[in-house]
Amino acid sequence: MKIVEAKGVTKRFMGAKVLDDVTLDIKIGEQIAMMGPNGAGKTTLVRAILGFYHLDGGRIRVDGYNPVKERVKVLEKISFIPQLPPPVKLSVSELLTFVQRSTGARKERIISQAEAMELDIEKHVEKPFFKLSGGMKQKLLIAIALARRSRLLVFDEPTANLDPKAREQFYGLLESLDYEHASIFITHRLEEVEGLVNRKIYMDLGKVVEDERI
Amino acid sequence: MKNIGLVAYLDIKESLRAKWFYVYAFVFGGLMGLFFISGITDSVVMGFTGLSRLLLVFIQVTIIILPIFILITTVKSISSDRESNVLEYMLSFPVSLKEYYWGKLIGRFATVFFPVIVALFVGVAWGLFKGGEMPWAMIFLYSALIFSICTVFLGIAFFISTIVKSHDIALGLSFTVWIILLAFIDVALIGLMMQNRISDDVILTIAMLNPLEAFRIGAIALFDPELTVIGPVAYYLLDSLGHTFLMLYAIFYPVVLGAFFAVFGYRAFKKRDLL
Ligand SMILES: Nc1ncnc2c1ncn2[C@@H]1O[C@H](COP(=O)(O)OP(=O)(O)OP(=O)(O)O)[C@@H](O)[C@H]1O
Ligand SMILES: [Mg+2]
């Protein structure tokens, strides 16, 4: 069962091809490590899957839907963690309200996911999100992403700010996900996700240069 | 459209904690306060009773400074959301672009409109306390004008924010728009007229198209133009088009203009890359 279908995807920024004819299918059950040097186009590719960009060529479908034209249908199925925690000015409780109302993921579930990484959200509900520490932000983003129980998880270097213990807890949570899903982990540290993944994709200069299923 | 209220509500909550909001509320509240202290209400000058005079001065200052406040704060917050990737995260949730854009616009509208309207009503309350008469027509007209100013400049600000991605350019452009509109109110227009290279019709058309001039004329349209120094263009327009027409024009033309800009901004938001 295909969740993502990308065919000949091309995207230019100011004349430069950042994605160059990328063709890629992702099936439910695939856990993908996406790697490649800085500037290879990894973030651009996942943003295109999320419908942020109008493509210069090719097409993307997520569960059969066009991410630009049917963004709500597409985003209902995707949990995304960005490369850098965004300095959201909403308070933690407002952010959780936004998530709950837009996705249906219960606040309690987010709170319990966060507890599994030893983040006590109740203590920080009134704080603006951007005033949390780097690691706390990241844990909260992870908790939100996991609580949504999405069929596609897109994590752009999710462990950058986590201490070693939190990393272990994070991978533990991923392993305990008990429903059918696919994941994309963008990472520069393969050894960390090696045990979790069953497919590795290498990108360079906007192309998929290696795609290996294990 | 279930999320439009949610987006608007959260935008209001966010604004209520933002520094710009305090500066903004402080400026308009402070302006009223300043008028009280300076005793504008106490004197009867040029045929105005105290309270009318207070409201007239307030609306004239508001017409000049409210636009730049709205433009700068709105453009700044939208473009900084984009540059800091807040937009990327918030738009990774299943919210339609329609809900997001119009929700933000409604939220913004509430936060820029209420401090000014509250300042206006505080002024009225103070004037009544000092023993004036309730100037119903003025209150109604000026509330409508403030609504209209907020609409047109929010529309322009949202348009600029979606068309221009760079923070600095967007700010610069906002400032330029304001300066140009200011330059084309009476003073500059007289200059043009005196040089006599341009026909009067062109000048009057420019005046009518400029929302700031429309507000200026609308704000004094309640009074006999002989009473106050309003500039030759405004005088001429009031004389030839009539007070009622100009009042309605000053309220509705900017609302329509703002709606156009907001809709164009929305189109651009949908048609272009979000980041
Ligand atoms: N909005 C944009 N405008 C112009 N250029 C962009 C834009 N977004 C990305 N790029 C360019 O596209 C290229 C790929 O960027 P991308 O962020 O996808 O790389 P990446 O593989 O995620 O790298 P990293 O490992 O450093 O995160 C870079 O050269 C970047 O400068
Ligand atoms: Mg990246």
Read off the pLDDT of residues A54-70 as tens digits, 9 standing for 90 and up.
999 999 999 999 999 99
- The answer to whether residue B93 scores a pLDDT higher than 90 is yes
A204 pLDDT band, cuts 50/70/90, is: very high
pLDDT at B41: 57
- The answer to whether residue A156 scores a pLDDT higher than 70 is yes
By C-alpha distance, the chain A residue nearest B273 is A53
- The answer to whether residue A21 scores a pLDDT higher than 90 is yes
Predicted confidence (pLDDT) per residue in A122-136, tens digit: 999 999 999 999 999
Chain A closest CA to B82's CA: distance in Å?
10
When pLDDT is averaged across residues A131-156 and rounded to a whole number, the result is 96
Location of structure tokens 């809900």: B99
- The answer to whether residue A194 scores a pLDDT higher than 80 is yes
Residue B92 DSSP symbol: T
Q: What is the pTM of this model?
A: 0.94
A67 lines ligand 1 (CB under 6 A): no
- In sequence order, the β-bridge partners of residue B140 are none
B228 pLDDT band, cuts 50/70/90, is: low
Q: Is A32 or B129 the better-scoring residue by pLDDT?
A: A32
Find the CB nearest A101 among B6, B92, B275. Answer: B6
∠ CA B115-B180-B185, rounded to 5°:
80
| Alpha-carbon distances, residue B190 vs A51, A168, A194, B214, B233 (angstroms) | 52, 74, 75, 16, 8
When pLDDT is averaged across residues B79-86 and rounded to a whole number, the result is 90
What are the backbone angles phi and psi of residue A161, rounded to the nearest 5°?
Answer: -100, 5
Q: B13–A91: do the CB atoms touch at under 8 Å?
A: yes
pLDDT at A183: 97
Q: Is B41 or B178 the better-scoring residue by pLDDT?
A: B178
Supply the residue whose CA is at minimum distance from atom 5 of ligand 1.
A13
**Domain limits of chain B?**
2-271
Ligand with the closest atom to the CA of B165 = 1
Contact B209, B249 (CB under 8 A): no
When pLDDT is averaged across residues A193-213 and rounded to a whole number, the result is 94
Nearest residue to B68 (alpha-carbon basis) of B201, B222, B178, B161: B178
pLDDT at B182: 87
Query: All domains of chain A, ordered by start, with CATH?
Result: 2-213 (3.40.50.300)
Q: B275–A52: do the CB atoms touch at under 8 Å?
A: yes
Task: Please give the share of chain A, as a percent, with pLDDT higher than 70.
Answer: 100
B46 pLDDT band, cuts 50/70/90, is: very low
Supply the residue whose CA is at minimum distance from atom 18 of ligand 1.
A41
When pLDDT is averaged across residues B126-151 and rounded to a whole number, the result is 89
Predicted confidence (pLDDT) per residue in A90-118, tens digit: 999 999 999 999 999 999 999 999 999 99
For chain B, how many residues are written? Answer: 275
Q: A72–B95: do the CB atoms touch at under 8 Å?
A: yes
Scanning chain B, the segments in alpha helix (DSSP H) are 4-17, 19-38, 50-83, 86-90, 97-129, 136-163, 167-183, 186-195, 200-209, 211-220, 232-241, 243-271
- The answer to whether residue A182 scores a pLDDT higher than 90 is yes
pLDDT at B226: 62
Task: Please give the share of chain B, as a percent, with pLDDT higher than 70.
Answer: 92
B206 pLDDT band, cuts 50/70/90, is: confident
Predicted confidence (pLDDT) per residue in A38-50, tens digit: 999 999 999 999 9
- In sequence order, the β-bridge partners of residue A183 are A31, A153
CA of A38 to the centre of ligand 1 (A): 8
Q: A89–B10: do the CB atoms touch at under 8 Å?
A: no
B79 pLDDT band, cuts 50/70/90, is: confident
Residues of B with CB under 8 A from a CB of A: 2-3, 6, 10, 13-14, 17-18, 84-86, 88-97, 271-275
Q: B17–A54: do the CB atoms touch at under 8 Å?
A: no
Ligand with the closest atom to the CA of A155 = 2
Q: A47–B88: do the CB atoms touch at under 8 Å?
A: yes
CA A90/CA B61 separation, integer angstroms: 33
pLDDT at B44: 52
When pLDDT is averaged across residues B99-113 and rounded to a whole number, the result is 96
Q: Which two tokens stand for residue B166?
A: 């760079």
CA A88/CA A94 separation, integer angstroms: 10
ipTM for the whole complex: 0.96
Q: Which atom of ligand 1 is nearest to the CA of A188?
A: 25
Rounded mean pLDDT of chain A?
A: 95
Name which of A99-108, B134-143, B257-266 the model is least confident about: B134-143
Residues in chain A closer than 8 A to B6 (CB atoms)? 97-98, 101-102
Task: Please give the share of chain A, as a percent, with pLDDT higher than 90.
Answer: 88
Interface of A with B in 59-98 (CB under 8 A): 71-76, 78, 80, 82, 84, 86-91, 94, 97-98
pLDDT at B234: 79
Rounded mean pLDDT of chain B?
A: 88
pLDDT at B145: 96
CA A154/CA A156 separation, integer angstroms: 7
- The answer to whether residue B86 scores a pLDDT higher than 60 is yes
Q: Which two tokens stand for residue B170?
A: 């967007």
Q: Which atom of ligand 1 is nearest to the CA of A14?
A: 4
- The answer to whether residue A213 scores a pLDDT higher than 80 is yes
